[in-house]
Structure 1
Amino acid sequence: MKKQIYLAGGFFSDKQNDLVTRAHTALEHNPTVGYIHSPREHQYQNVTAENDPAGIFGSYEWATETYNNDLTAMGLADLAVVVWDNVQPDMGTAWEMGYLAALHKPIVLTCEDAVEQVGINLMLIKGSKTFLTQVQELKDFDFNLIPTKLYKGLII
Protein backbone atom coordinates (compact mmCIF):
# COMPACT_ATOMS: atom_id res chain seq x y z
CA MET A 1 0.00 0.00 0.00
CA LYS A 2 1.30 3.46 -0.86
CA LYS A 3 1.42 5.95 2.01
CA GLN A 4 0.51 9.62 2.21
CA ILE A 5 3.50 11.54 3.55
CA TYR A 6 3.62 14.94 5.22
CA LEU A 7 7.09 16.29 4.42
CA ALA A 8 8.09 18.78 7.12
CA GLY A 9 11.21 20.89 6.97
CA GLY A 10 12.24 24.50 6.98
CA PHE A 11 12.67 26.33 3.71
CA PHE A 12 14.23 29.56 4.90
CA SER A 13 17.85 28.94 3.90
CA ASP A 14 19.68 27.33 1.00
CA LYS A 15 20.55 24.34 3.22
CA GLN A 16 16.94 23.83 4.31
CA ASN A 17 15.62 24.14 0.75
CA ASP A 18 18.21 21.62 -0.41
CA LEU A 19 17.15 19.15 2.31
CA VAL A 20 13.46 19.46 1.40
CA THR A 21 14.19 19.17 -2.34
CA ARG A 22 16.37 16.08 -1.93
CA ALA A 23 13.86 14.47 0.45
CA HIS A 24 11.00 15.11 -1.96
CA THR A 25 13.00 13.56 -4.81
CA ALA A 26 13.92 10.50 -2.74
CA LEU A 27 10.30 10.03 -1.68
CA GLU A 28 9.09 10.32 -5.28
CA HIS A 29 11.31 7.34 -6.14
CA ASN A 30 10.12 5.23 -3.20
CA PRO A 31 7.60 2.54 -4.22
CA THR A 32 5.85 2.66 -0.81
CA VAL A 33 5.01 6.38 -1.17
CA GLY A 34 1.85 7.63 -2.83
CA TYR A 35 1.16 11.30 -2.12
CA ILE A 36 3.66 13.80 -0.68
CA HIS A 37 2.43 17.02 0.93
CA SER A 38 5.23 19.55 1.25
CA PRO A 39 4.12 22.84 2.84
CA ARG A 40 6.72 24.67 0.77
CA GLU A 41 4.69 23.76 -2.32
CA HIS A 42 1.25 24.45 -0.84
CA GLN A 43 1.26 28.07 0.27
CA TYR A 44 -2.07 29.88 0.04
CA GLN A 45 -2.60 31.05 -3.55
CA ASN A 46 0.95 29.80 -4.32
CA VAL A 47 2.32 32.98 -2.76
CA THR A 48 5.89 33.15 -1.51
CA ALA A 49 8.11 36.01 -0.37
CA GLU A 50 9.61 36.02 -3.89
CA ASN A 51 6.29 35.58 -5.75
CA ASP A 52 3.54 37.78 -4.34
CA PRO A 53 1.66 39.63 -7.10
CA ALA A 54 -1.37 40.29 -4.85
CA GLY A 55 0.74 41.55 -1.93
CA ILE A 56 -0.72 39.10 0.59
CA PHE A 57 2.43 37.27 1.78
CA GLY A 58 2.66 37.67 5.55
CA SER A 59 -0.95 38.86 5.85
CA TYR A 60 -3.44 37.40 8.29
CA GLU A 61 -5.40 35.92 5.36
CA TRP A 62 -2.33 34.22 3.90
CA ALA A 63 -1.18 32.94 7.32
CA THR A 64 -4.62 31.60 8.26
CA GLU A 65 -5.21 29.77 5.00
CA THR A 66 -1.69 28.35 4.81
CA TYR A 67 -1.91 27.18 8.44
CA ASN A 68 -5.33 25.56 7.92
CA ASN A 69 -4.13 23.81 4.77
CA ASP A 70 -1.16 22.35 6.64
CA LEU A 71 -3.38 21.19 9.52
CA THR A 72 -5.62 19.38 7.06
CA ALA A 73 -2.64 17.78 5.32
CA MET A 74 -1.18 16.60 8.64
CA GLY A 75 -4.51 15.07 9.60
CA LEU A 76 -4.81 13.22 6.28
CA ALA A 77 -1.21 11.97 6.21
CA ASP A 78 -0.37 8.41 7.19
CA LEU A 79 2.94 9.57 8.63
CA ALA A 80 5.51 12.35 8.53
CA VAL A 81 9.01 12.67 7.20
CA VAL A 82 10.92 15.51 8.85
CA VAL A 83 14.18 16.88 7.47
CA TRP A 84 15.81 18.66 10.38
CA ASP A 85 18.44 21.40 10.24
CA ASN A 86 20.04 21.17 13.67
CA VAL A 87 22.30 24.18 13.01
CA GLN A 88 19.48 26.62 12.19
CA PRO A 89 16.37 24.91 13.59
CA ASP A 90 13.01 25.99 12.20
CA MET A 91 10.39 26.60 14.89
CA GLY A 92 7.56 25.79 12.47
CA THR A 93 9.01 22.37 11.76
CA ALA A 94 9.36 21.68 15.49
CA TRP A 95 5.73 22.74 15.98
CA GLU A 96 4.61 20.45 13.16
CA MET A 97 6.45 17.55 14.79
CA GLY A 98 4.60 18.16 18.03
CA TYR A 99 1.25 18.37 16.28
CA LEU A 100 1.93 15.21 14.28
CA ALA A 101 2.97 13.38 17.46
CA ALA A 102 -0.27 14.51 19.13
CA LEU A 103 -2.15 13.05 16.15
CA HIS A 104 -0.26 9.76 16.74
CA LYS A 105 1.37 9.90 13.31
CA PRO A 106 4.66 8.01 13.02
CA ILE A 107 7.57 10.39 12.42
CA VAL A 108 10.71 9.58 10.45
CA LEU A 109 13.26 12.20 11.50
CA THR A 110 16.18 12.78 9.13
CA CYS A 111 19.15 14.93 10.13
CA GLU A 112 22.41 15.02 8.19
CA ASP A 113 24.20 17.28 10.68
CA ALA A 114 26.92 15.74 12.88
CA VAL A 115 24.76 15.74 16.01
CA GLU A 116 26.18 12.91 18.10
CA GLN A 117 28.29 15.31 20.21
CA VAL A 118 26.14 18.43 19.85
CA GLY A 119 22.86 16.67 20.53
CA ILE A 120 19.26 16.94 19.45
CA ASN A 121 16.39 18.12 21.61
CA LEU A 122 14.74 15.30 23.55
CA MET A 123 11.25 16.25 22.36
CA LEU A 124 12.27 15.71 18.74
CA ILE A 125 14.00 12.41 19.45
CA LYS A 126 11.29 11.00 21.71
CA GLY A 127 8.62 12.03 19.20
CA SER A 128 10.29 10.13 16.37
CA LYS A 129 9.92 6.45 15.52
CA THR A 130 12.90 6.38 13.19
CA PHE A 131 16.08 8.47 12.95
CA LEU A 132 17.95 8.59 9.65
CA THR A 133 21.29 10.29 9.04
CA GLN A 134 21.03 10.64 5.25
CA VAL A 135 18.14 12.00 3.18
CA GLN A 136 18.96 9.46 0.48
CA GLU A 137 17.86 6.68 2.87
CA LEU A 138 14.27 7.79 2.24
CA LYS A 139 14.41 6.39 -1.29
CA ASP A 140 14.51 2.77 -0.07
CA PHE A 141 12.78 3.17 3.30
CA ASP A 142 9.79 0.85 3.85
CA PHE A 143 6.97 3.21 4.80
CA ASN A 144 4.56 0.31 5.13
CA LEU A 145 6.63 -1.25 7.92
CA ILE A 146 8.25 1.94 9.32
CA PRO A 147 11.06 0.12 11.10
CA THR A 148 12.37 1.62 14.32
CA LYS A 149 15.89 3.02 14.10
CA LEU A 150 16.91 4.80 17.27
CA TYR A 151 19.07 7.89 17.53
CA LYS A 152 22.31 7.07 19.37
CA GLY A 153 23.80 10.50 20.04
CA LEU A 154 23.58 13.08 22.79
CA ILE A 155 20.04 14.10 23.77
CA ILE A 156 19.61 17.61 25.14
Structure 2
Amino acid sequence: MNRKKRIYLAGPLFSHAELEYNCKLRDSLLKKGFSVFLPQEDAEDTTNERERQNQECIFKKCVGGMDGSDLVVAVLDGVDVDSGTAWEIGYAYAKEKPVIGLRTDFRSLSDGIVNLMVEMSIIDLARDEEELLKILEKFR
Protein backbone atom coordinates (compact mmCIF):
# COMPACT_ATOMS: atom_id res chain seq x y z
CA MET A 1 0.00 0.00 0.00
CA ASN A 2 1.31 3.45 -0.91
CA ARG A 3 1.81 5.88 1.94
CA LYS A 4 0.25 9.31 1.75
CA LYS A 5 2.53 12.00 0.38
CA ARG A 6 3.31 14.54 3.08
CA ILE A 7 3.05 18.25 2.29
CA TYR A 8 4.70 20.97 4.33
CA LEU A 9 2.35 23.96 4.12
CA ALA A 10 4.46 27.13 4.21
CA GLY A 11 2.86 30.53 4.52
CA PRO A 12 2.35 33.52 6.76
CA LEU A 13 0.62 32.75 10.06
CA PHE A 14 0.41 36.04 11.90
CA SER A 15 -3.16 37.26 11.43
CA HIS A 16 -6.49 35.58 12.09
CA ALA A 17 -7.20 35.64 8.36
CA GLU A 18 -3.89 33.92 7.55
CA LEU A 19 -4.41 31.27 10.23
CA GLU A 20 -7.94 30.54 8.98
CA TYR A 21 -6.81 30.38 5.35
CA ASN A 22 -4.00 27.97 6.23
CA CYS A 23 -6.49 25.67 7.97
CA LYS A 24 -8.89 25.86 5.01
CA LEU A 25 -6.06 24.99 2.64
CA ARG A 26 -4.88 22.15 4.90
CA ASP A 27 -8.38 20.70 4.96
CA SER A 28 -8.54 20.76 1.15
CA LEU A 29 -5.20 18.93 0.93
CA LEU A 30 -6.31 16.33 3.49
CA LYS A 31 -9.51 15.70 1.49
CA LYS A 32 -7.34 15.00 -1.57
CA GLY A 33 -5.49 12.28 0.33
CA PHE A 34 -2.33 14.08 1.40
CA SER A 35 -0.82 14.24 4.87
CA VAL A 36 -0.06 17.84 5.89
CA PHE A 37 2.45 19.44 8.27
CA LEU A 38 0.95 22.79 9.28
CA PRO A 39 3.48 24.81 11.31
CA GLN A 40 0.88 26.82 13.23
CA GLU A 41 -0.41 23.56 14.68
CA ASP A 42 2.30 20.92 14.30
CA ALA A 43 5.11 23.21 15.48
CA GLU A 44 2.76 25.06 17.84
CA ASP A 45 3.91 28.34 16.31
CA THR A 46 1.52 30.72 18.02
CA THR A 47 1.96 33.85 20.11
CA ASN A 48 1.34 31.90 23.34
CA GLU A 49 3.84 29.20 22.40
CA ARG A 50 6.47 31.76 21.37
CA GLU A 51 6.16 33.23 24.87
CA ARG A 52 6.18 29.81 26.57
CA GLN A 53 8.86 27.93 24.63
CA ASN A 54 12.00 29.28 23.14
CA GLN A 55 12.04 30.02 19.44
CA GLU A 56 14.69 27.37 18.82
CA CYS A 57 12.15 24.67 19.72
CA ILE A 58 9.64 25.98 17.14
CA PHE A 59 12.42 26.30 14.56
CA LYS A 60 13.54 22.69 15.09
CA LYS A 61 9.98 21.40 14.81
CA CYS A 62 9.53 23.25 11.51
CA VAL A 63 12.83 21.99 10.10
CA GLY A 64 11.86 18.47 11.16
CA GLY A 65 8.51 18.94 9.42
CA MET A 66 10.26 20.04 6.25
CA ASP A 67 12.71 17.14 6.42
CA GLY A 68 9.83 14.67 6.83
CA SER A 69 7.80 16.06 3.95
CA ASP A 70 7.81 15.00 0.32
CA LEU A 71 6.99 18.42 -1.08
CA VAL A 72 6.15 21.97 -0.06
CA VAL A 73 3.15 24.12 -0.87
CA ALA A 74 4.03 27.77 -0.30
CA VAL A 75 1.48 30.57 -0.01
CA LEU A 76 3.02 33.54 -1.82
CA ASP A 77 0.32 36.19 -1.26
CA GLY A 78 1.12 39.71 -0.15
CA VAL A 79 3.12 42.61 -1.49
CA ASP A 80 6.22 40.49 -0.88
CA VAL A 81 6.55 36.86 0.13
CA ASP A 82 6.57 36.31 3.90
CA SER A 83 10.22 36.09 5.05
CA GLY A 84 9.73 32.78 6.88
CA THR A 85 8.04 31.30 3.82
CA ALA A 86 10.93 32.52 1.64
CA TRP A 87 13.38 30.74 3.96
CA GLU A 88 11.30 27.55 3.83
CA ILE A 89 11.28 27.68 0.03
CA GLY A 90 15.06 28.07 -0.04
CA TYR A 91 15.54 25.22 2.43
CA ALA A 92 13.27 22.92 0.41
CA TYR A 93 15.09 23.87 -2.79
CA ALA A 94 18.45 23.04 -1.20
CA LYS A 95 17.04 19.67 -0.06
CA GLU A 96 15.73 19.06 -3.61
CA LYS A 97 12.11 18.93 -2.48
CA PRO A 98 9.57 20.17 -5.01
CA VAL A 99 7.91 23.47 -4.11
CA ILE A 100 4.57 24.50 -5.57
CA GLY A 101 3.66 28.14 -5.10
CA LEU A 102 0.14 29.40 -4.54
CA ARG A 103 -0.48 33.05 -5.28
CA THR A 104 -4.10 34.20 -5.18
CA ASP A 105 -3.00 37.84 -4.86
CA PHE A 106 -3.45 39.67 -8.19
CA ARG A 107 -0.61 42.15 -7.52
CA SER A 108 2.74 41.52 -9.18
CA LEU A 109 6.20 43.01 -9.31
CA SER A 110 7.22 45.07 -12.30
CA ASP A 111 9.57 42.32 -13.50
CA GLY A 112 7.82 39.14 -12.34
CA ILE A 113 5.14 37.54 -10.24
CA VAL A 114 7.19 37.36 -7.03
CA ASN A 115 10.83 37.83 -6.08
CA LEU A 116 13.14 36.30 -8.71
CA MET A 117 14.86 33.94 -6.25
CA VAL A 118 11.51 32.64 -5.00
CA GLU A 119 10.05 32.33 -8.49
CA MET A 120 13.04 30.33 -9.75
CA SER A 121 12.89 27.97 -6.74
CA ILE A 122 9.35 26.74 -7.36
CA ILE A 123 8.42 24.10 -9.91
CA ASP A 124 4.90 25.37 -10.55
CA LEU A 125 2.63 28.26 -9.59
CA ALA A 126 -1.10 28.01 -8.96
CA ARG A 127 -3.38 31.06 -9.00
CA ASP A 128 -6.15 29.50 -6.91
CA GLU A 129 -6.89 26.43 -4.79
CA GLU A 130 -8.52 24.54 -7.66
CA GLU A 131 -5.44 24.94 -9.84
CA LEU A 132 -3.22 23.91 -6.92
CA LEU A 133 -5.15 20.67 -6.43
CA LYS A 134 -4.83 19.89 -10.16
CA ILE A 135 -1.07 20.43 -10.02
CA LEU A 136 -0.78 18.21 -6.93
CA GLU A 137 -2.52 15.30 -8.68
CA LYS A 138 0.81 14.23 -10.20
CA PHE A 139 2.34 13.87 -6.69
CA ARG A 140 -0.27 11.48 -5.24
TM range (shorter): 0.7 to 0.9
Partner of 1:96: 88
1:124 equivalent to 2:131? Answer no
Equivalent positions of 1:34-73 (< 5 A) are 35-43=35-43, 46=44, 48-49=46-47, 52=48, 57-58=50-51, 61-73=53-65
Question: By percentage of residues, which structure has more helix?
Answer: 2
List gaps (5 residues or longer) in structure 2. Answer: none
Query: How far does residue 91 in structure 1 lie from its aligned partner after superposition?
Result: 0.7
Partner of 2:75: 83
Query: How far does residue 14 in structure 1 lie from its aligned partner after superposition?
Result: 3.8
Question: 1:105 & 1:124 partners in 2: Cα distance?
Answer: 14
Normalising by structure 1, we get a TM-score of 0.75
Partner of 1:114: 106
Whether the 8 Å CA contact 2:74–2:101 is kept in 1: the answer is yes
Choose 91-100 or 128-137, whichever is displaced more: 128-137
Q: Which runs of 4+ in 1 moved over 6 A?
A: none
Whether the 8 Å CA contact 1:30–1:138 is kept in 2: the answer is no
Whether the 8 Å CA contact 1:23–1:138 is kept in 2: the answer is no
Matched pairs, number: 135
Rg comparison, structure with higher value: 1
Question: 1:47 & 1:144 partners in 2: Cα distance?
Answer: 27
Structure 2 SS opposite 1:80: strand
CA-based RMSD = 2.2
Deviations 1:92-143 (CA, angstroms, capped at 9, x unpaired): 1111111111000000100001145653111111100110000233344314
Normalising by structure 2, we get a TM-score of 0.83
1:68/1:117 CA distance change after superposition, 3 Å: closer
Pick one of 97, 101, 107 that aligns with 1:105: 97
